[in-house]
Every structure is written in C-alpha cells, then in structure tokens.
Structure 1
Amino acid sequence: MAGQPNTRERLVSAAFELFSERGYEAASVDEIAARAQVGRTTAFRQFGSKEALIFPDHEALLRRADERLSNTHAEALPAEVVAVATSVFEHYLAEGDRARTRYRLTRSVPALRDFETAVVSRYARLFTKHLRAAQTGDWTADLRAELFANAVVAAHNHVLRRWLRGDVPNPRSDLAEALAATWPIYRGGNGRTAVVVMSTDEPIESLTPRIRGLISD
C-alpha cells in the first residue's frame, strides 16, 4: 500500500519508541524487531548494531557529502564544505522530535556518546581530506585545511546542540553566523573577516548562494 513505511523506517521508529518508553539499555533488538514486525536477522542486516538505529542516516549523509565534495572544483571547496555542513544541519532540523530524543539518549548513554563522537570525527576527517587535496604551498596550508575542517564541524555542532536544548530561536541564522566565523582560519589570518547574520523566513536554498558569495569575495 502506498505510504506505508519501509522496513528500515519501521525499525527506526520502533527503536525510538522503545528507547523512550523503557530506556536504551532495557530495550533489546528482539523487542525492536518484534514491534517493527520483522525478524531479528533483518534488523541486524539493516543496521548491524543497536547504536546504529539511533543514527540511521549518518552513512548516507557521509556518502552524499563525499560525493558532493569530490565533484567540486578546488577553489570552491571551502564554501562547499560550509554548504555541506548546512545541509546536514537541515537534516537534523527536519527530524525534529527524533533529533531531540537522540540528543537526550546520547547525553545519558556512554555507548551512544562514543558512537556520536566517532560519527562527528568522520565528518572532520572527510572535510580535511578534500580540503588538503586542493591545497598547494607550504605545510601551513595543510594545517589551515585541518583547522578549518574541525572548526566547521565544531560550529555546526555548537549551534545544533543549542537548538536541541531549545536555546536557539533562529537556528539557521545562528548557524550561518557561526560558520562564517570559521572563514578567517582558512584565509590564513590575512585580516579579512566575513560575518554573516541572517534572520529571515526565506528557505535555506536561497540563503546558501548568498552565504557562499559573502565568504568567497
């Protein structure tokens, strides 16, 4: 029937429901599979671990980010890294309550906190890999690429956590400002600073080209 959730979505929904009802440790994979009306083997084939059920989209997001950056010209990579971070942020905004449930769980379950840390580090490594490949010059160019990659991830996560706690009324404009503040790191301290502050009802698709223009001038 059209509109029915697929197996993957049923498993994720069942996992979040049971984790909210019983806690992460108390909810078993068998119970999650039973509520999703699939077998235990299917659950593990889809996700591989209970932790992965909490972060069901991270592999797809990383893969798309890698493909996107691989198809970007060298001179446009820094702005594209910012755009990728913005698109990941939009994904979490779209999740809404599910993202907030994940945040509460990762704050209280050490295994999930470790899993989240590993996911975050993969973004930093991915950004660094592409930025370094585009660099020419002395060793400080590689250093700036690594610092910039980590700064973009840190800026993204800082605003995301504030939004998850309910501390940010305008998350998109806060993210744009936070990401723009990372730009002087890549510029190499040449005195140029780009600060982007936006509070608007415009969709993010129309904001991204303007942000790129501001930080690329």
Structure 2
Amino acid sequence: MRTHLALLATAASFVLLPAAQAQTAPEVEANVAFVSDYRFRGVSLSDETLALQGGLDLGFDSGLYVGAWGSSIEPVGDSEVEVDLYAGYGAELTEGLSFDVGVLAYVYPGQEDTAYGEVYASLTGATGIVESSVGVAYAPEQDNIGNDDNLYVFYSGSAPLGESGLGLVFGVGYETGAFGDPDGDGDDKIDWTLGLTASGYGLDWGLAYVDTSEEGEGVESQVVLSVGKSF
C-alpha cells in the first residue's frame, strides 16, 4: 500500500456509519503511475530506474476496505513484480481525527519463499493547514524474512502552498529488524522525504528528495519524479 511513493499519495478516510443503515455498492477507485525510482521506506526497489505502478481499491460504507497494488521492481529471483494485497478498517474518531488499521501481504509472483505479511495502524489529523499522519507497520517473525521481525514507525505531513496550486509533502521514518540495516553497518535505518505535488493536464505530479541514514547503492539520496492518475 502502500507506499506507492507513500508521501506523494493521498490517503482516503472512511466514515463509520450506523450498523442499521443500508449498505450501498462499494466505492471503486483505481490508480496508475510512473515513477523515476520506486523508493520504499527510502530504499530503491527498482534499481534506481523507472517503475510502472497501479492499484485498485474497494471501500465500503462500514469503513472496511480491500485492495491490491503492484509495481515493477528489480528482479527478486524469477519475479519482476511486487503485488501488495491488503484489507483494513478506517473510521473517524472525532471531528478531524481518523484512524486506519489493517493487514498487508507482499507477494512476488513467480518466485517462491519470498512473500511475507505485516500489520499496520495510523492516525491522521489536521492542525491548521497541515495534515499529519503517524503510524506503525509490524511484520512478525517469518521464515521468508530470515526468521526475524521488522518494525517501521513514521510521520508524514502535507500542506498547500498558498494559492499556488502546489502542495508540500514531508516525512520521516525509522526501521529496525529484518529490513532495518540494508547496508549492513549494524545501525537501524532512518529515512526522510521532502517534496512537492501538483495537478495539471489531468494528471497528478510529484517531485521529492528522498534520503536515508544508510550508505551504498539503492539507499543514497535521490530525487524522484512521479506522474499518475486516479480514477
């Protein structure tokens, strides 16, 4: 889920309705995008080259949702595609403050012994013009991630830049465990992002500077361009 260059994506919130209210057909949303580099938690998963991405989501009045998202990647064994399958629940806690919880499976079609799962939770609210999210994703100990677990905690924010039509996006994350030391230096990983978003010509545009505390190929600083469309 979903990042999809997470800090350049717009999160949908689901409002909890009375259980007795009649259910309507699920809301269907789709998206497609090209990115100059698929960065996931600061790490390049496309060998620092162009990636094609897309997803499909179904949202229900109850607050439940299910979805799938995929991206081209640097080959993992015989697989050149990552597919994320997820399901969750979101609702408004109070006016202007919502939560989201769910489960997510990372799948690599064509390659065995690589799929793994995690659970996630986040809170989203606004202070003035700044919308902020804080969250956590936890992958329990699993064979396919080296019989280890993994923890990722993050903050992300966004704000409009006056009447310019541009949006500012920013965030920072901390990761420890199976994926928390990609360069093998023995230290946990910190990643951060600062970027701009805009809409034009019927498309959504993004430009972001991404960096991590690690050194080496695939984790060094990079400017990432994205262009996409939601339906």
Same fold? TM cut 0.5: no
Q: Which has the higher helix share?
A: 1
TM-score, with normalisation over the residues of structure 2?
Answer: 0.32
Q: Which is greater in Rg?
A: 1
Q: State TM-score, norm by structure 1.
A: 0.33
